[in-house]
Amino acid sequence: MRVGFIGLGQMGKPMAGNLVSSGFQVTVFDPLHSAVEDLVDRGAKEGASASDVAERSQLTVLMVRDATQAEAAVRGEDGFLAGAAEGDTLIVVSTLPPALVRDFGETLSARGLSVLDAPVSGGVEGARAGLLTIMAAGQADVLGRCRPVLEVLGDRIYHVGEAVGLGQTVKVLNQALYFTGLAVSAEAIVMGAKAGIDPDVLVDVIGESSGGNWALKNRAPLAWRNEYRSGGALSIALKDLRAATQLADDVGAPALVASSTAHLFKLAESLFGAGGDDPLVVKAMEIIGRHTLRREG
């Protein structure tokens, strides 16, 4: 099977690499040429543009950063649509606004093309290991065609509905839960540390108790264990939280906690820059709480 891959960032590059290692004929494109070169050295073919990738592929995976990049990669002058042939499929694994992906579905369907809305969760670690959770929305036959590729990328594939956009809806809600979990974990850790509890003890105990969550166990401790580095950017967190509040507006539902969390991430971004990693939310809480968690030496 000829597979294309557009977007070779921190998650896209290892995902494309796993497809190469699994024996697929993979053509890749990213504006950052060094990312392309590394995969070409491993057996991938280099695409000159997103349209070139589409022209050479039956299934094309889209893993770009945000809606602006997705729009350019799909409907831009050298985008997927310019090179795709009738019957081809675009697999959208990026996290994007549900309305945008629904619009892609309508545009591509009118051209005899298919979209599988299949955002992923699991972070850089899951992308490297091929252990992502995939939230797929689309017609069952489209999912069937894409399944051999998805099974390389992830170990849990959920068909959440046939309407394109529902995959993104589930992912946006997942992100809202994840980032609110990280925010409240940061708050609790700083509070506990000021009261005299070792942060590692707090994480170990609450991580196995009813207050535990994935962010508490796997992201918040990177504040003092790994110099606030995780591979997940504050700007991405803010993008996803804004998508959650937009979804709430679209359907007429409350987003009180997600909105408050977005304000905290905006504060962290203003303090540390958009390129800073998401555990810096813990540092923002340290500043607000006037307590330092990092241990010297």
Q: Is position 79 within any domain? A: yes
* Catalytic-residue membership of 171: yes
Q: Is position 294 within any domain? A: no
Among the listed residues 45, 171, 239, 283, the single catalytic one is: 171
User: Of 136, 163, 190, which marks where a domain is finished?
Assistant: 163
Q: Is position 295 within any domain? A: no
User: To the nearest whole number, what is the mean pLDDT of the chain?
Assistant: 96
In terms of domains, do 122 and 231 share one?
A: no
Judge whether 137 and 159 are in contact, CB under 8 Å.
Answer: yes
Identify the band that residue 77 occupies on the pLDDT scale cut at 50, 70 and 90.
very high
Say yes or no to pLDDT of 244 above 90.
Answer: yes
- Give the chain's domain count: 2
User: Of 113, 135, 163, which marks where a domain is finished?
Assistant: 163
CATH code of 236's domain: 1.10.1040.10
CATH code of 22's domain: 3.40.50.720
Give me the pLDDT at residue 168, please.
97
Say yes or no to pLDDT of 296 above 70.
Answer: no
Give me the pLDDT at residue 295, please.
58
In terms of domains, do 70 and 202 share one?
A: no
Q: Is position 297 within any domain? A: no
In the chain the first and final C-alpha atoms are separated, in Å, by: 52
Say yes or no to pLDDT of 297 above 50.
Answer: no
In terms of domains, do 234 and 259 share one?
A: yes
In terms of domains, do 152 and 200 share one?
A: no
Q: Is the dihedral of CA 76, 81, 84, 88 positive or negative?
A: positive
Domain containing residue 25: 2-163
Residue in the structure block whose two tokens are 């609110």: 180
Pick the closest to residue 123 from 165, 174, 188 (CA basis): 174
Which token pair is 115? Answer: 């979209």
Which token pair is 50? Answer: 């997103």
Q: Is position 138 within any domain? A: yes
Arithmetic mean of pLDDT, 19-41: 95
Residue in the structure block whose two tokens are 């590692």: 200
Judge whether 60 and 5 are in contact, CB under 8 Å.
Answer: yes
Judge whether 72 and 49 are in contact, CB under 8 Å.
Answer: no
The Cα 208–Cα 24 span in angstroms is 40
Residue-wise pLDDT for 205-225, tens only, equals 999 999 999 999 999 999 999
The residues facing 29 across adjacent strands are 6
The pair phi, psi for residue 48, each rounded to 5°, is: -80, -20
In terms of domains, do 152 and 174 share one?
A: no
In terms of domains, do 174 and 144 share one?
A: no
Residue-wise pLDDT for 127-159, tens only, equals 999 999 999 999 999 999 999 999 999 999 999
Judge whether 84 and 54 are in contact, CB under 8 Å.
Answer: yes
User: Of 113, 141, 163, which marks where a domain is finished?
Assistant: 163
Residue-wise pLDDT for 1-28, tens only, equals 899 999 999 999 999 999 999 999 999 9
In terms of domains, do 86 and 186 share one?
A: no
In terms of domains, do 192 and 138 share one?
A: no
